[in-house]
């Protein structure tokens, strides 16, 4: 898909916040069907973290059309105090991050990474990543910590994705966190990721060619993400995710070159 004009920006108006919430609902509620039981006549996906003064919402526009968004959570003392944590990010509700904290590290948590389906194979993804990188650098962030969607509520398939990531050399050699037992995961999954043939292949130790879900693969390949835990069950969306860390100083050189090649790709739109 072509477009004559791309731009990214940090949402500062109610209209832009609305654009972000609508995109999130279109992806999570409409396309993926993950919002069942969470009625929203307005068709917007919003949580209590969205309105914090430490939360940024990035948007990518193709012309005047909003096509992609992500939420970037910065450390929040109020959240840290409420959770009894040290950073004040959403992940601290489920994961102890204290072992990662050092005085020289400034963490942020990207989440709600959404690109509307017709634009998923366009430059929208790169523009969104470039905006996240530029805005994080501007605010002194050194590391991102996140949890990538594994596209399944099957514990078996989530563990297999983790094994595929390990086989590809994408586990972090430096960092490790523990995740809670996924006792809330369904005993009978509704959304398998791997086929019976793929599972049989894995049982035989033949990991070559096995798929990895789009989100963890994208962040590992383009942003140098490394995975720091076994799969984490997200009770909000009722799917498994894979915790990861990305150091801004370790983003691959070809990705940075791509960012800088974008027209104003490292500066927000005005």
Where residue 63 sits, what CATH number does that domain have?
Answer: 3.40.630.30
CA 108, CA 169: separation in Å to the nearest integer?
24
Question: Is 191 a residue whose pLDDT tops 60?
Answer: yes
269: in domain: no
Residues 140-169 have a mean pLDDT of 97
183: in domain: yes
* 57 bridge partner residues: 71
Q: Grade residue 30 by pLDDT with cuts at 50, 70 and 90.
A: confident
116: in domain: yes
- Which residue in 167, 166, 82, 68 sits closest to 110, CA to CA? 68
* 243 bridge partner residues: 147
94: in domain: yes
* Residue 143 vs residues 67, 140, 248: alpha-carbon distances, Å: 26, 9, 6
**What confidence score (pLDDT) does residue 40 get?**
66
pLDDT in tens, 99-130: 999 999 999 999 999 999 999 999 999 999 99
**What confidence score (pLDDT) does residue 57 get?**
98
50: Cβ–Cβ under 8 A, 6 or more apart, which residues? 17, 21, 57, 71
Q: Grade residue 31 by pLDDT with cuts at 50, 70 and 90.
A: confident
Residues 35-43 have a mean pLDDT of 72
Q: How many domains does the chain have?
A: 1
Angle, helices 253-261/124-138, rounded to nearest 10 degrees? 100
Domain ranges, residue 71: 6-261
pLDDT in tens, 204-242: 999 999 999 999 999 999 999 999 999 999 999 999 999
pTM of the model: 0.93
């Amino acid at each position: 898909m072509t477009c004559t004009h791309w731009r990214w920006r940090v949402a500062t108006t109610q209209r832009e916040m609305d654009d972000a919430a609508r995109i999130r609902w279109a992806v999570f509620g409409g396309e993926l069907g993950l919002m069942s039981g969470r009625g929203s006549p307005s068709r917007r996906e919003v949580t209590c973290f969205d309105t914090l003064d430490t939360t940024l919402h990035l948007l990518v526009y193709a012309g005047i059309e909003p096509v992609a968004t992500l939420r970037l959570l910065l450390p929040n003392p109020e959240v840290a105090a409420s959770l009894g944590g040290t950073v004040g990010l959403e992940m601290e509700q489920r994961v102890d991050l204290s072992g990662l904290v050092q005085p020289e590290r400034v963490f942020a948590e990207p989440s709600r990474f959404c690109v509307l389906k017709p634009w998923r194979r366009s430059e929208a993804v790169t523009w969104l990543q470039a905006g996240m990188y530029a805005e994080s650098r501007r605010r002194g962030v050194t590391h991102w910590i996140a949890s990538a969607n594994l596209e399944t509520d099957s514990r078996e398939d989530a563990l297999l994705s983790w094994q595929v990531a390990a086989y590809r050399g994408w586990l972090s050699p430096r960092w490790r966190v523990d995740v809670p037992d996924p006792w809330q995961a369904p005993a009978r999954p509704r959304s398998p990721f791997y086929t019976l043939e793929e599972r049989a292949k894995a049982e035989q130790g033949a990991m070559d060619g096995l798929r990895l879900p789009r989100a963890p693969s994208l962040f590992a390949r383009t942003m140098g993400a490394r995975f720091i835990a076994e799969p984490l069950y997200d009770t909000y969306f009722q799917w498994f995710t894979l915790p990861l860390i990305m150091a801004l100083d370790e983003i691959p050189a070809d990705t940075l070159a791509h960012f800088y090649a974008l027209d104003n790709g490292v500066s927000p739109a005005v």
